[in-house]
Structure 1
Amino acid sequence: MSSHHAQAPGTSRAAIGMIAVAAAAAFLATFNETFLNVALTPIMTDFGIDVSVVQWLATGYLLVAAVFVPVSNVLYHRFRTRPLFVAAVAFLVVGSVVGALAPSFGVLLAGRLLQAVGTGLLTPIGMNITLAVAPREKLGLAMGIMAAMTTLGPSMAIVVSGALLSVAPWTTLMWVFGALSLIVLLAGAVLLRNVAELGRPVLDVLSFLLVAVGLVGLLYGISTAFSGSPLVAAITAAVGILALAAFGVRQNRIEHPLLNLQPFRSTPFVLGVSMTMLGLLFVFAMNVVIPIFLQSVKGQTPMGASLTLAPGILMTVVLGPVAGRLFDRHGGRVMIPAGFAIMAVFALLVGAAAGHESVLLFAALYVPAVLATSLVIGPSQTFALSSLDRQSSPHGVTVVSTSFQIAGCLGTSLAIGAYNALTTRGLASGSDLLGASVLGFRGAAVLVALTSVVGVVLAFAATRAARAARAARAAEAGETIGSGRAHTVVDLMKTDVYALSTEQNVLEALQMFTDRGISGAPVLRPDGSLAGFLSDGDVMRYLSAEHPSSTNIYSFAIGESDDLEDALADLVSLPVMRLATHEVVTVDANDSIADAVAVLSDKHLKKVPVVRGENGPMIGIVSRSAVNRLAISSYLASREEQARPADGETGAVEREPQLA
């Protein structure tokens, strides 16, 4: 069964509230990644440091956040969701206070790194919450909202910080962010409930050290490739790669891996993560190089540079959920490559406009470029995570969240590196500052355009991979059932099951029954365990007892609907568990097909939920129709097997197609 659907509370208020908190957390985490970028100059002045030191406020933040993302997966399954979320946001609050009161740069950096710990934990926790509570049919919309927040965060940070710095000192940024974090902390404490399957996962210290050395080495090597010694950068990156390789080997050998590498076995997942990273790389690269160019060359103030980015940023917030709905309806076969193509074209046009005097033209051309990222980032995330099963999804979220930090570091480092390198080369060749800076900016624009072209190629490859994966699953299912080789209910059950939540009301249940063309559905608790089963018969029996004149639902068809309308209005305030059957007959995942047949026959049931272990989560449903298909397919397969000698002798009898 899909991991998203198993725990989906539909569109209940509780689910909406939790998704809103998760989206706010995603916004905060990415907002803080660039919030201090515009303030680096006054910070250098206050503490008497140069750019090579102050840049660690950005680079160090991303590195520490990347290191702590894998740890979040262990914590997510060990501690209840609400206290874990509150603790993660508390790191942001405490780090903000430390940074605001810092008497030296070292203390400021320590506060910044405390914030990074919270960011590394918070990003995957928020995504896991969204995956747990969003209905499968609305997953694209929910992930579109999350993608809009992660895209909005680093972009909006530049606008807000520019506005604040025009009227207040840089320490105000830390106080403002601390206040925002406190608001999200309180909202999480009120609205969240546990949505994770809790256990006793163990944090492997050696794995943590290896991933820390690996990510820090790799990202430090990349970030210093343009500005430092190439030899040191190469050695550091090589050490990082070796540490990551050792990390991967260890994960496959220990009982409790820090990061389950199973998602990497899915080609669609790998391609989806790669496309997400390319979209984020574009955002981070353009949002760091544009303000620098506008301030140093075009004479814009921090506020003016921020406002140049504002229109595209605000429109991206609106387009993110729209892109999610489009993905739900049509998939990403056209949307994602089109988004990358628009990004590439308009990045080149923005680069061309850099030499033009009009800043308005520059800003106008950037709008479609940043809007196109909405067609890429959210849909690519959804594409990647929807390719995973229930067990792999939390690990996939960890990988995606880590990719955020890596993409941010790559985008920032590559754009600034190309800009500085080409600007320096232009000055050395005799160009003035304007000409050299335009050359540097165009080089950065060409670089991000090339990464977008790579994204187009990956998007087409992802479409082919997804089609191949679907064909393989269909073939495997047909082979298992058609040949009669199914031995346990897991081999026979339907995994993509529509489910209700204990938070929903009866009218919402009836609406789902109508929309999905079903007559009943299991009711799940937030942790995915089975709470009950509601059928349309349960509802009609209630109406018959409480509203006798409304028992004929067909009265709507003949215009006598007043009594029934009153009765159905009564269902809005009626929780599904008031009418659902609490003692639900189930079969275990390890039960045989014969056991399932016996339950269906003895209890006179059409379908029976499949659970994993006593009081475990529901993972699917076995129906009478599935058993009938298996029986017929097995019979036809045995007849065909018996007919094969005669076929070999005459060569005249064609094989009858098996039932799928």
Structure 2
Amino acid sequence: MIAVAAAAAFLATFNETFLNVAFTPIMQDFGVDVSTVQWLTTGYLLVAAVFVPVANVLYHRFPTRPLFVAVVAIMVLGSVVGAMAPTFGLLLLARLLQAIGTGLLTPIGMNITLAVSPREKLGLNMGIMAAMTTLGPSLAIVLSGAILTVAPWTTLMWVFGALTCAVLLAGAVILRNVAELGRPVIDVLSLLLVSVGLGCVLYGMTVAFSRSALSAGISGLVGLIAMSLFVIRQRRIENPLLDLRPFSSAPFVLGVLMTMLGLVFVFAMNVVIPLFLQGALDLPPLGASLTLAPGILLTVGMGPIAGRLFDRHGGHWSIPLGFLVMAVFVTLVGVAAGHSSIWIFGLLYVPAALATALVVGPSQTFALANLDRETSPHGVTVVSTSFQIAGCVGTSLATGIFGAMVAANAGAGRSEGDSLLAGFHGAVALVVATSFLGILLAFLAYRLVRSRHAAEGVQGPAHTVQSIMQSDVYALSSNQNVLEALQTFAERGISGAPVLNADGTLAGFLSDGDILRYLSATHATATSIYSYAIGAEDDLEQAMSDMADLNVMRLATHDTVTLDARASIEDAVAALSVRCAAQEGSGGQREGFPPRRYREPVRDQPSGHRHVPAFP
């Protein structure tokens, strides 16, 4: 399922830049200028950003597999329409259809990853997702350049359509429902406000360097007003389009900002480097694209490695290190741009590209790890929206600075090569500045986390139960029946869960072993698989009926032992050892059932902390 989610994330971001290299033949075929053809990218990013918040509502309203298939089908439809489009307007409409799929698919894929990833592998799996989202827009430039050397631009649409069909089939076969479904509704006014807000803000950034500053300022102001009204409405309505609770976590906000700064680097360099190499060094589109290829391919392998580093050590040193490497080596790339050796240019860019893996994946993992299970899906929506915004901001600012400095230097009488070099240096200065800002945010984020831990009196991470326990556990209600509990175990992929009273206090613990012991003692079908050979189907139906009438507290452990989350690991080991010894000494029998073993829940103290048990 994570592989399908990663493939979906790759496709969603891959298509953002897949058509960029084909702008020249598209302009020739449809007779449009640069300012018009740019809407194939700008419009795509705007629509994708608008539909990201809608994904969270759909994710909790429809089963995961049919929703995934329907969203990918929209992208397939857009690809077919675009490949056969007789006019530019129809081609733009096809791109907007694809953008709807992108806006919905990215958060759905991230939610799937969060739902099925164990806590100890969350960094690794989010690193894979980050690698795919970073690989997508970068690899698209290389592949589209290669395809355009042997085929017309319409082939790009057919190729993307084939890739989406493959992901659609994989999702239809592999995915299962992982979301907690309800009946959330889409607030139409909220959708309109966020559409106008994001659209105007991003449009203002897009035209800031190409048109009058007044138009950009007015557009940005209207966008900010609309976004302010959107925020006010979300706080007042019962079913908000976007739950704003994640923004109450300062580490989450800082993690999102760090993720965006890393993505600004990716999008800015992916568009400016080909422009500079084609204009200043007369490289063909494919040659300019291949200059990016080594760093792109190595970044894919670096993503999971960065995720493992985050799982083991956190990101308190890897994230600022990544930003520092980005700043240093992109500066060296800027220096190398003044020389004719393309090999030195390409080699120096490799470490800068690799460093993005230390930033993007760990930063978004850091952000989401500071949210609880309830607010995580809304955090995913925010992160996914930030991807599109970062792409538009990075592309717009980099190309805007590049173009403005090229024009200024050309107007001052400098040669074309020198003007292009000055423009490239301006774009390099932009990403260096954002990298140093990322270092500052990283130190601030981890300082906040350490301060919070100190305020809560948490011991060092190497000494407490809290550092190794599973904190986001599922729980059963004391009024549920055993059959419902068994269904929960199967759906969640767990082997046991705490049982809570109506007021949230711990009532006991139920495991699948408790249920199997009951079945083996009362029903022949649970004794051996060979029971089916002697016609035990009726007994199986009776077992299901009995479990539907049996309260979970009938089988659950009542006398559980709890530990404080801030207790030392040594205390937990001692408690488990004493408990197991006591159970073995007493036989652990209850009402004729075979001996049982207990798992010890860990509870926070009742001083404002959560009362949901967790298990080492």
In 1, distance between residues paired with 2:550 and 2:259? Answer: 42
Q: Is the 8 Å Cα contact of residues 196 and 527 (structure 1) preserved in structure 2?
A: no
1:353 is aligned, of 322, 336, 347, to 336
The letter for the 1-side match of 2:84 is L
Greater mean alpha carbon deviation, residues 345-354 or residues 230-239: 345-354
Q: Aligned partner of 2:471: which letter?
A: D
Deviation at 1:624, TM superposition (A): 7.4
TM superposition shift of 1:296: 1.4
Structure-2 change in CA distance of 1:630 and 1:161 (3 Å): closer
Query: What SS is found at the alignment partner of 2:182?
Result: coil
SS in 2 for 1:29: helix
Q: Matched residue pairs, number? A: 517
Separation in 2 of the partners of 1:54 and 1:72? 28
Is 2:471 the partner of 1:496? yes
Question: What's the CA shift string for 1:94-127, capped at 9, x where partnerless?
Answer: 0000000000100000000000000000000000
**Partner secondary structure for residue 200 of structure 1:** coil
Q: CA deviation at 1:466?
A: 1.5
CA contact (8 A) 1:499 1:522 kept: no
The 5 A counterparts of 1:28-43 are 28-43=11-26
Distance 1:474 1:540, change over 3 A: farther
What displacement does 1:333 show?
A: 0.3
1:605 offset after TM fit, Å? Answer: 4.4
8 Å contact from structure 1 (residues 21, 187) kept in 2: yes
Q: Which residue of 1 aligns with 2:173?
A: 190
The letter of the residue matching 1:32 is N
Write the distance in 1 (CA, Å) between the matches of 2:601 and 2:151: 70
Distance 1:430 1:135, change over 3 A: same
Give the whole-Å Cα distance in 1 for the aligned partners of 2:127 and 2:550.
36
Which one-letter code corresponds to 2:240 in the other structure?
A: P
Q: How does 1:632-651 map to 2 (within 5 A)?
A: none
Aligned-pair distance for 1:428? 0.7
> Are residue 287 (structure 1) and residue 262 (structure 2) matched?
no
Give the RMSD, CA atoms, in angstroms.
Answer: 3.0
What is the alpha-carbon distance in structure 2 between the residues aligned to residue 399 and residue 497 of structure 1? 21
- The structure 2 residue matched to 1:370, chosen from 353, 358, 364, is 353
The one-letter code sitting in structure 1 at the alignment partner of 2:258 is M
Q: Distance between the aligned counterparts of 1:144 and 1:626, measured in 2?
A: 30
Is it true that 1:447 corresponds to 2:422 in the alignment? no
| Partner in structure 2 of residue 93 of structure 1 | 76
Letter in 2 for 1:433: E
Confirm whether residue 201 of structure 1 aligns to residue 195 of structure 2: no
**2:116 pairs with 109, 118, 133, which one?**
133
The TM-score normalised by the length of structure 1 is 0.74
State the Cα deviation string for residues 480-504 of structure 1 (Å, max 9, x = none).
Answer: xxxxxxxxxxxxxx9716789xxxx
CA shift in 2, pair 1:151/1:390, >3 Å: same
Are positions 1:396 and 2:379 aligned together?
yes
CA distance in 2, matches of 1:195, 1:436: 54
Q: Does the 8 Å CA contact 2:204/2:219 hold for their aligned counterparts?
A: yes
1:195-228 CA distances to partner (integer Å, 9 max, x unpaired)? 0000000110000000000000000001110111
Indicate yes or no: 2:270 matched with 1:305.
no
| Cα shift at 1:260 | 0.3
Is contact 1:333-1:463 (8 Å) kept? Answer: yes
Match of 2:54, as an amino acid?
Answer: V
Matching residue of 1:649: none
Which residue number in structure 2 is paired with residue 552 of structure 1? none
2:489 paired with 1:524: yes
Q: Which residue of 2 aligns with 1:434?
A: 417
The corresponding residue for 1:617 is none
1:154 matches 2:137: yes
| Residues 360 and 317 of structure 1: CA distance in aligned 2, closer, same or farther (over 3 Å) | same
Distance (whole Å) between structure 2 residues aligned to residue 216 and residue 363 of structure 1: 35
**Structure 1 match to 2:260:** 277
**Partners of 2:74 and 2:602 in 1: CA distance:** 53
Equivalent residue number for residue 401 of structure 2: 418
Equivalent of residue 385 in structure 1, options 349, 355, 368:
368
Specify which of 71, 74, 81 is matched with residue 54 of structure 2. Answer: 71
Cα distance in 2 for residues equivalent to 1:224 and 1:198: 41
Q: Counterpart of 2:323? A: 340
Tell me the alpha carbon deviations over residues 255-302 of structure 1, each in whole angstroms, 9 at most, x when there is no partner: 000000000000000000000000001000000001111111111111
Tell me which residue corresponds to 2:540: none
Q: What is the distance in 2 between the residues matched to 1:55 and 1:297?
A: 22
**Hey, what's the Cα distance between the residues in 2 that align with 1:220 and 1:411?**
13
- Deviation per CA, 1:15-65, whole angstroms, max 9, x where unpaired? xxx100000000000000000111001101111111000000000000000
CA distance in 2, matches of 1:474, 1:585: 39
What are structure 2's unaligned runs of at least 5 residues?
459-468, 476-485, 498-509, 521-543, 564-597, 608-616
Aligned to 1:480: none
Compared with structure 1, are the counterparts of its residues 607 and 303 closer, same or farther at alpha carbon in structure 2 (3 Å cutoff)?
Answer: same
Corresponding residue for 2:242?
Answer: 259
> How far apart in 1 are the matches of 2:177 and 2:496?
15
Q: What's the offset of the Cα at 1:229? A: 1.0
Q: CA deviation at 1:603?
A: 3.8
Q: Which has the higher contact order (CA 8 A, sep 6+)?
A: 1
Contact 2:201 2:221 in 1 (8 A): yes
2:105 paired residue number: 122
CA contact (8 A) 2:562 2:603 kept: no
Q: Provide runs of 4+ in structure 1 moved above 6 Å.
A: 528-532, 535-543, 581-585
Deviation (angstroms), 1:526: 3.4
CA contact (8 A) 1:499 1:524 kept: no
What is the Cα deviation at residue 625 of structure 1? 7.5
Q: Extract unaligned runs of 5+ from structure 1.
A: 1-17, 476-493, 501-520, 544-577, 588-597, 609-620, 632-660
- Distance in 2, matches of 1:630 and 1:448, equals 47
Residue 531 of structure 1 contacts residue 582 of structure 1 at CA under 8 Å; is this kept in 2? no
After TM superposition, list the pairs within 5 Å mapping 1:498-513 onto structure 2. none
- The range that moved more, 404-413 or 534-543, is 534-543
**Residues 354 and 438, structure 1, Cα contact 8 Å, conserved in 2:** yes
User: 1:50-88: per-residue Cα shift (whole Å, max 9, x none)?
Assistant: 100000000000000000000011101100100111111
- Please tell me whether the aligned partners of residues 496 and 512 of structure 2 are also in contact (alpha carbons under 8 angstroms): no
1:126-150 residue CA offsets vs partner (Å, 9 max, x unmatched): 0000000000000000000000000
Cα deviation 1:372-413 (Å, max 9, x = unaligned): 000000000100001001111000000000000000000000
Distance 1:296 1:71, change over 3 A: same
| 1:350–1:522 Cα change, 3 Å | farther
Q: Which of 60, 71, 84 is the aligned partner of 2:67?
A: 84
Cα distance between partner residues in 1 of 2:558 and 2:418 = 82
- Corresponding letter in the other structure for 1:383: F
Which AA in structure 2 matches 1:188? G
What does residue 10 of structure 2 align with?
Answer: 27
Show the 5 A alignment for 1:314-329. 314-329=297-312
Counting only pairs closer than 5 Å after superposition, residues 535-554 of structure 1 correspond to structure 2 as none
Of the structure 1 ranges 459-468 and 393-402, higher mean CA displacement relative to structure 2 is found in: 459-468
| 3-state secondary structure, aligned to 2:236 | coil
- TM-aligned CA distance change 1:338 to 1:584, over 3 Å: farther
Partner of 1:611 in structure 2? none
- SS at 1:423 equivalent: helix
Q: Quote the offset at 1:524 in angstroms.
A: 3.1
Q: Confirm or deny: 8 A CA contact 1:525 1:531 kept in the other structure.
A: no
Pair 1:215 & 2:215 matched: no
Q: Deviations over 1:468-488 (max 9, x none)?
A: 23334557xxxxxxxxxxxxx
- The residue type equivalent to 1:186 in the other structure is L
